[in-house]
Amino acid sequence: MPRLAILRQSHTSPELFAPVKQQLRDRNLWDESGDGGLEEWIAIRYGLRAGEQFDRAADFLIKALKGGRILTVLVDEINPMLMNPLRANGWPTLVAMLVLAFPEVRWHFLVLTGRPPDDQRDRANQEPLHRWDSFQALHGIDGLFEPRGTPLFDGYGLRQHVLTCMTEDENQDRHFNRRSLRSVGSVPARRALATVLDEEEGYRWLQAYMAYRHGFRVCAIAFWREAENLLGSGGRLDPKASPRDDALIHNSFFALSLEDWFLSYPDQNDPATSDLRRRSELLPALRLQAPPLRRFLTVGHQHQAGVLVDRRNNWLAQLRKQELGATGHPLKQKQQIAFKPASGIFSLWKELGLDRDWNISGEQAWRPSLRRKYQGLAPGYFWPPDISDTAVTQNVDEGHSSPGRLLHLAECLIDRANVLVRECNTATEALRGAVLATQALELLGCRTPTVSVEALLLKHAFEVIAECQFPGVQYHLNLKERLADVKANLAGMSFWLHHNRRRDFMLNAEAQILSKLSSILVEYGEYEEAELCQQELRDLHRQISVRYDFKTRPLFAPLIWPFRWYIVFVLRSTANFFLSIAILIAVFWAAHCFEQRVYVSTLAGSGDPENSRRNDSLALNDGAFYDTFKAIISGEPIEKEKTTSGARIISYIASSLGVLNLGILISVLHSRMNRR
């Protein structure tokens, strides 16, 4: 049973919660005699500053969350339209801060105040009223008794409501018009909604987080009753429903559905939902006139053949035709279905054909640079923030850093994530930590670079841990897109630094993140991926050292730079090592032969009797290649006899490179033997 906690003001009577607790007992949803029903509450004196009370309330919720139990918090009263965490003080401000700082908590409010007037004559002013009604339908006390999955991915939009309040208040105070999908401090908005239908918790969470990290709010449906409540006839995502029931799609849109092909929820009565036609009849929100994109994940049973396969292929063909007409994007059948085990967060998103241009209007659609930057992200979700937009924000004197209140929330989230990373034993715990880090990173909006780097490091660390711990993910992971994502985020953060320090910041931060990822990959036996991180780290260390040397030792730096570059190039791959050996042998063999030809010509001019013998040996030249090969491989000098100074220089350089190559080969073999 979920754990229950109460947040109330000191002037609120505890008797206000008695009817709710009685209903929970009657429905067998709460047992006050057990640990799951342990009642806890906190009294906050009215009128004190929210920032001063936040730490006390946060400590209370952290204690209530111990043990990994689901926590439901009941709040006595709230004015939904005042839930702005940047306000100076007040109860709604404190609750808004807690909502952002504890995304895994399910929040419900007993009494709602401040309902806007219903002015039927002014349709333009109906928006606040619709938002208030939506809040009551989704987060009022009636929603407490609905079956719902985890609130971690903000499927019901409570955190987005708080950010919307923050944006609207800031726009009114600043007297300038921002883009409707932007928020204070470049905090991104999540307007698009996705659903995940999968009875396996691990796959459900993995798919939900995959969509969440790409900008969707996600309803990770854990019960068939919840699926009917959302997608069924008259459900919250059914446009034919009453205004109260369509609250979830107000100010957002249903864009994506990730589904297990063979559904079998524990509370499911109809076993025929593996037939997509039957599923669409039971869940009509999946077949709207403007339907969501539907993607499927399955084990791909080979014994299903004949009529079943033909029926499946025909239905998928209809979905492809429907999607082409709605979005204009052609789709292949192999992009509709992904087979288990999954290929990781980045690869699975691409495998399902979701790395597309979701923004079909606005500046992000017609500017090529922005289209590439935000390709694959949910419509209306722009991360990392566009530098040009951030520059405009800075020019209107908003300050160079994140607001102090948001910074405090981000630090709270990071502290909790740091505790979780030491206790992470399952993939779901790792994904919870990834959401905490993502929430902190987005609240900062890249505007406080140092703290943002810590949040970014934790985010990628938790993602890699989840991919390594979950048995449903393939052994080999795709790090190419992950490294590109790290660089894109660091580029957005570096904009807020002095232009002379941006490159140094990016190199050092990237090295720190890759070092952490490499240690995690080695711990879980992902040696090939760890080696890729080490290759990138060597290149980063070379660039950092070169930049430092050119600043502090400008005369010495040009001499040592070629050797550092060569070592990094050789260690990048086995192919690079053998390619460098072949090139060095060819170059020094040609140089040796050329020097010998010059030497013979000099002897011929001087009348040396040894000239004819040397000329014959030069013509044959059967030992020059062998001598060069030995020099490059083992460091043995090319020319042992008395010869010109040029030949000796060539021999010394070749011998030095030979010793270097031998040392590199020994170190590589030693490291690979040790890691096995």
Task: Please report whether residue 178 resides in a domain.
Answer: no
Separation of alpha carbons 632 and 650, rounded Å? 11
- Band (pLDDT 50/70/90 cuts) for residue 306 is very low
**389 pLDDT higher than 50:** no
Q: Are residues 232 and 353 in the same domain?
A: yes
Is residue 167 within 8 Å of 131, Cβ to Cβ? no
Looking at the fold, whether 549 and 592 belong to one and the same domain comes out as no
Task: Note whether 416 and 523 are same-domain residues.
Answer: yes
pLDDT of residue 175: 38
Residue 157 covered by a domain: no
Based on the domain organization, do 332 and 198 belong to the same domain? yes
Quick one: average pLDDT of 206-218? 95
324-353 tens-digit pLDDT? 655 666 677 677 888 888 878 998 998 888
CATH of the domain at 7: 3.40.50
Chosen domain end from 540, 568, 596: 568
Percent of the chain clearing pLDDT 90 (strictly above): 25
Q: Is 621 in the same domain as 660?
A: yes
Domain that residue 93 falls in:
1-146+165-171
Query: What's the whole-number mean pLDDT along residues 1-6?
Result: 76
Q: Give phi and psi for 673, each to the nearest 5.
A: -70, -35
512 falls within a domain: yes
Residues 539 and 580 in one domain: no
* Residue after which a domain boundary falls, among 354, 381, 408: 381
pLDDT tens, position by position, 620-674: 455 666 667 767 766 666 655 545 666 677 777 777 777 777 777 777 776 666 6
pTM for this entry: 0.83
The CA-atom distances, in angstroms, between 128 and each of 119, 124, 146 are 11, 10, 25
Query: Looking at the structure, do residues 521 and 374 belong to the same domain, yes or no?
Result: no
CA-to-CA separations, 391 to 183, 186, 372, 399, 492, in angstroms, rounded: 15, 11, 20, 11, 11
Mean pLDDT of 445-455: 92
pLDDT for position 599: 63
Whether the per-residue pLDDT at 512 is higher than 80: the answer is yes
| Assigned token pair, 139 | 């987060």
- Is 123 inside a domain boundary? yes
Lowest pLDDT segment from 35-39, 432-436, 452-456, 516-520: 35-39
Are residues 77 and 209 located together in one domain of the fold? no
Q: What is the mean pLDDT of residues 291-299?
A: 82
Q: Please provide the distance, in angstroms rounded to a whole number, between the alpha carbons at the two ends of the chain.
A: 45
- Domain count across the chain: 4
- Given a cut of 80, is residue 194 above it in pLDDT? yes
Would residue 182 count as lying in a domain? Answer: no
Reference 162, options 114, 100, 252, 217; nearest CA is 100
Do the Cβ atoms of 265 and 224 come closer than 8 Å?
A: yes
In a domain, 635, yes or no: yes
pLDDT for the residue 177: 36
Over residues 487-514, mean pLDDT: 91
Residue 241 and residue 324 in one domain: yes
**Residue 184 within a domain:** no
Helix (H) or strand (E) holding 192: strand 192-197
For residue 282, what are the CA distances in angstroms to 148, 240, 263, 269?
A: 18, 15, 13, 12
Longest dimension (CA), the chain: 119
Q: What is the pLDDT of residue 379?
A: 86
Token pair for 651: 């021999």
pLDDT band at 197 (very low <50, low <70, confident <90, very high): very high
Do residues 365 and 465 both lie within one domain? no
The two structure tokens encoding residue 675:
């890691």
112 and 201 part of one domain: no
630 falls within a domain: yes
In residues, how long is the chain? 676
Residue 598 confidence class, pLDDT cut points 50, 70, 90: low
Shared domain check, 368 and 296: yes
Last residue of a domain, one of 346, 381, 416: 381
Q: What is the mean pLDDT of residues 557-580?
A: 78
Query: How far apart are the C-alpha atoms of 248 and 149, rounded to whole Å?
Result: 15
